[in-house]
């Protein structure tokens, strides 16, 4: 059994993938070839966003979005500590400071009520209201990065309202949620700008690294396309700002175009798989993931909570079922973030989730038979 079965997917579209790769080998435009435009157009339309800018990874997508807002030293960016390290890392790379905000216990996404508190605490320079990082006295609130964890969008109606009132930008970390929905809108269309990832294990993955930035904002779009190619102006030897080499390879775009043709159908299959898990694992001792009314998860991961996680993981391993723990250590307790001066107990919801959470195999091709087997093993342990 595979945790994510990329092989089953490849078998369905192998011919198209080879055809698309061969077309690139024929035209030879390995950098910014015609497949890049085609992919940006297709995914921008799917997400319902005016501009889509492909790039080298989900991390660079986040970084480029922050660079487009000219985030730098002295800036505070609010995000959650219960995420992949890249979300916080890009803030720090630019010399800005992450201000962590705890999550909702059921969706694992940023808790809007706590965001409001964190903003107020920073404004009134009062860390008794909400834990603040070292050096908070000199910080100015600039933006918010909500994370659509495991594929479910955060609560954007509330988060956008809070951010708007304080003139903060909202950068949606949609690395896990491409294909997800929130109140009739698609993930990647839910903030001022969004970043997604095409890492192979994500809902829409390529065969290497890749990512995309989405925005309706024309000015931001101009910045993003410039930052992506070394801060280019009229051409790449006219450099008007500091940028990066953030391009997506034409070959990866060609592979993604083949994969995208079956992606909407795969999203439906993921809903069926998640629905089956929900029924099979509705047992005492297990908390199955909660999806808010009006939301659709892209099911990047199927993550459960249990007090008996470690016994369950061991039992599943013995039964040959692969599992994973996302994430065993929240960012505020990571060595890399020691300099922020946060302490255990600062974000208790994240800390508790880190102790109880585990993820089961999840992909569109998971069979009912395998799911029944997994559920039987878990019930046997409990
Ligand atoms: C995967 C991921 C990223 C980074 O994407 P890469 O393509 O691996 O750089 C950022 N944020 C979250 C929440 C992720 O899951």
Task: Say how many C-beta atoms besides its own lie within 10 A of residue 233's C-beta.
Answer: 11
Confidence at residue 137, expressed as pLDDT on a 0 to 100 scale: 97
User: Looking at ligand 1, which residue's alpha carbon is closest to its atom 14?
Assistant: 175
Measure the CA–CA gap between 190 and 208, rounded to whole angstroms.
26
Q: Name the CATH architecture for the domain at 263-381.
A: Alpha-Beta Complex (3.90)
Among 146, 177, 178, which residue's Cα sits nearest to residue 161? 146
122 has pLDDT over 90: yes
| Residue 271, token pair as written in the block | 């809903």
| Residue 372, token pair as written in the block | 């029944």
C-alpha 380 – ligand 1 centre gap (Å): 35
User: Looking at ligand 1, which residue's alpha carbon is closest to its atom 1?
Assistant: 175
- Percent of the chain at pLDDT above 70? 100
Task: Report, as an integer, the average pLDDT of 225-236.
Answer: 93
Confidence at residue 198, expressed as pLDDT on a 0 to 100 scale: 98
Among 200, 79, 212, which residue's Cα sits nearest to residue 149? 79
Q: How far apart are the first and last CA of the chain?
A: 22
In whole angstroms, what separates CA 38 from the centre of its chain? 23
C-alpha 199 – ligand 1 centre gap (Å): 7
Helix ranges, the chain (H)? 6-27, 34-47, 58-68, 86-93, 112-123, 156-165, 218-228, 250-260, 263-280, 309-318, 348-356, 368-381
| Residue 150, token pair as written in the block | 């495991």
C-alpha 64 – ligand 1 centre gap (Å): 14
CATH 3.40.640.10 domain locations along the chain: 6-260
Confidence at residue 282, expressed as pLDDT on a 0 to 100 scale: 94
pLDDT band (50, 70, 90) for residue 313? very high
Give me the residue label for tokens 């706590």: 114
Q: Which of 54, 64, 81, 87 to mutate to test the pocket of ligand 1 (most atoms within 8 A of CB)?
A: 87
pLDDT band (50, 70, 90) for residue 248? very high
Determine whether the shortest distance from the Cβ of 56 to ligand 1 is under 6 A.
no
Task: Report, as an integer, the average pLDDT of 280-296.
Answer: 96
Confidence at residue 21, expressed as pLDDT on a 0 to 100 scale: 98
C-alpha 284 – ligand 1 centre gap (Å): 33
- DSSP assignment of 193-238: EEEEE--TTSSS--SS--EEEEES-HHHHHHHHHHHBTTBSSSTTS
Task: Report, as an integer, the average pLDDT of 266-286.
Answer: 97
Task: Say how many C-beta atoms besides its own lie within 10 A of residue 324's C-beta.
Answer: 18
230 has pLDDT over 90: yes
What does the mean pLDDT of the chain come to? 97
Confidence at residue 77, expressed as pLDDT on a 0 to 100 scale: 98
Measure the CA–CA gap between 329 and 214, rounded to whole angstroms.
29
Give the pTM.
Answer: 0.98
Task: Say how many C-beta atoms besides its own lie within 10 A of residue 140's C-beta.
Answer: 11
Among 142, 147, 136, 129, which residue's Cα sits nearest to residue 79? 147
Determine whether the shortest distance from the Cβ of 197 to ligand 1 is under 6 A.
yes
Q: Name the CATH architecture for the domain at 6-260.
A: 3-Layer(aba) Sandwich (3.40)
Cβ pair 35, 16 in contact under 8 A: no
Confidence at residue 235, expressed as pLDDT on a 0 to 100 scale: 84
Among 145, 149, 176, which residue's Cα sits nearest to residue 62? 145
Task: Report, as an integer, the average pLDDT of 90-112.
Answer: 98
Q: Does 327 sit behind a cis peptide bond, omega within 30 degrees of 0 on the bond before it? A: yes
Determine whether the shortest distance from the Cβ of 175 to ligand 1 is under 6 A.
yes
User: Looking at ligand 1, which residue's alpha carbon is closest to its atom 5?
Assistant: 58
Convert the pLDDT of each residue in 340-366 to its tens digit.
999 999 999 999 999 999 999 999 999
pLDDT band (50, 70, 90) for residue 203? very high
Confidence at residue 236, expressed as pLDDT on a 0 to 100 scale: 80
Task: Report, as an integer, the average pLDDT of 18-28.
Answer: 98
377 has pLDDT over 90: yes
Determine whether the shortest distance from the Cβ of 374 to ligand 1 is under 6 A.
no
CATH 3.90.1150.10 domain locations along the chain: 263-381
């Amino acid at each position: 059994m595979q945790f994510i079965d990329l092989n089953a997917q490849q078998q369905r579209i192998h011919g198209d993938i080879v055809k698309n790769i061969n077309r690139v080998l024929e035209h030879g435009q390995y950098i910014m070839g015609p497949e890049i435009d085609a992919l940006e157009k297709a995914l921008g339309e799917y997400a319902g966003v005016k501009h889509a800018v492909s790039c080298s990874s989900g991390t660079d997508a986040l970084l480029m979005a922050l660079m487009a807002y000219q985030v730098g030293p002295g800036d505070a960016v609010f995000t959650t500590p219960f995420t992949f390290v890249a979300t916080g890392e890009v803030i720090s790379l630019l010399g800005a400071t992450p201000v962590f905000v705890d999550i909702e216990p059921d969706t694992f996404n940023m808790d809007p009520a706590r965001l409001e508190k964190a903003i107020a605490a920073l404004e009134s320079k009062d860390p008794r209201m909400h834990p603040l990082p070292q050096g908070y006295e000199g910080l100015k609130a600039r933006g918010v990065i909500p994370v659509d964890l495991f594929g479910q969008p955060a609560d954007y109606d509330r988060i956008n309202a809070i951010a708007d009132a304080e003139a903060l930008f909202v950068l949606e970390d949609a690395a896990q949620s491409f294909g997800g929905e929130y109140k009739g809108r698609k993930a990647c269309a839910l903030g001022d700008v969004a970043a997604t990832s095409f890492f192979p294990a994500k809902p829409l993955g390529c065969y290497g690294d890749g990512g995309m930035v989405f925005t309706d904002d024309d000015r931001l779009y101009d910045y993003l396309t410039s930052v992506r190619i070394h801060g280019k102006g009229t051409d790449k030897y006219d450099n008007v700002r500091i940028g990066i080499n953030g391009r997506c390879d034409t070959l990866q775009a060609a592979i993604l175009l083949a994969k995208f043709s079956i992606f909407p159908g795969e999203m439906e299959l993921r809903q069926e798989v998640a629905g089956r898990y929900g029924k099979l694992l509705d047992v005492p001792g297990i908390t199955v993931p909660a999806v808010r009314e009006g939301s659709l998860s892209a099911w990047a991961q199927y993550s459960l909570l249990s007090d008996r996680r470690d016994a369950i993981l061991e039992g599943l391993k013995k039964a040959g079922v692969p599992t994973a723990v996302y994430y065993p250590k929240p960012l505020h307790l990571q060595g890399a973030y020691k300099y922020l001066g946060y302490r255990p107990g600062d974000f208790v919801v994240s800390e508790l989730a880190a102790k109880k959470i585990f993820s089961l195999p999840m992909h569109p091709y998971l069979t009912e038979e395998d799911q029944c087997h997994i559920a039987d093993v878990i019930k046997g342990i409990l």
